[in-house]
Structure 1
Amino acid sequence: MSTDAIATPTPEQMTELQAVTDRARAGDHTAVPRLRELLALFPRHGAYFGDLALQAAGVWIDLAAGPDLHLRESLAVKLDALRRDLLGGSADPVLDLAVDRVALTWLAANYLTAMDGAAVKHGESPRLQAFRAKRRHQAERAHLTALAALVALRKALAAPPAAAPLAAPVLTDRAAREAVANRLSGFFDGLPTLARDGAKAAASN
């Protein structure tokens, strides 16, 4: 059965998928063959849990939101909107990877900036504040690098394809002789008639 025929698992299949997933997460190697079969039937399940960019975003959102579920959901919505804006409707997989990197570094840089402000507010030691500032600077550089890569990629994708070089014209033997004769004819004007006629005859042969 094709994977397109089963876009969404039935409740029974979802129950089995959850049970097999739990066994695999617990380290049960006997669950792997059936897990592979289920992931082949429902690739979206594997794509979701195997998306490390998505998992990384979840880690940063957890750090930023903590137990605040409203902030957690708001950050997820903001991140989705940022990705959509940066993708601009493109389905290019390479652009998608670049946008993931920009979104993640944006999240990390802004989280660390917020932590810098909280550190100052709570009067942390200058040494700890300096450590936090160093981490923030690293995150900001990573974000700027990701942005630069995205801009360069957009330019590369938008550039028109390079024109193929024009092939040199292929001349027949006669055409080649005539071209040489025409090019040399100007040099014969100052020669005596006999020499000029002989040179032209040599060129035409």
Structure 2
Amino acid sequence: MELFADRAEAGELLAERLLDAHDPVILALPRGGVEVAVPIARRLDAVVEVLVTRKIGYPPAPELGVGAIAEGGEPVFDMALLHRLGLTPESVAEVVRRERHELARRVRVYRGDRPLPPLEGREVIVVDDGLATGNTARAAVRAVRRAGPAKVTLAVPVGARGTVRSLQKEADEVVVLKTPLDFRAVGQWYAYFDQLTDDDVLRLLGRR
């Protein structure tokens, strides 16, 4: 299966599948989702903003995500994984507290004192650079729903098939360009997949 050259190219291709959107608000999940979302917003002549999310990590191995949280929402947990690890949501409460603190810090970095655009009654497109476990996307979609939008679309260039199916129960529509059988990680489907910084995000949004 052909690779995306980079996130910007993936966003341009994804935009072609979103042309029917009506005056949408585009919310990008940082950091990689921002680089995908900017060309979409340009093509759709739409507002783009960051929706900050944070992974909730397994305390002995924080890189293993047991859930996620998005601004304006509540923690979302992979309950099957928690059970296998012998954990409960209560047992990772301290991790959640720390991630809420870091989430608030990143909101200040990316938006300052500006709130998210009004979402009630609007069509909202949530954008990320790919779906592996789907925890952050699930947390984001649920947080957006709390604001009362007319429609929530999740748009990603590539995703694991099982994750895409599960998120079709969360969003009104999931738009994905590739669902490869041999999916192992999001980055494997990009020829260039560098790690972005906060400064990169601000530059992409025209705030640097």
| TM bracket (short chain) | under 0.3
Structure scoring higher RCO (CA < 8 A, sep ≥ 6) equals 2
TM-score, length basis structure 1: 0.22
Of Structure 1 and Structure 2, the greater strand share is in 2
Question: Greater Rg, structure 1 or structure 2?
Answer: 1
Structure having the higher helix fraction is: 1
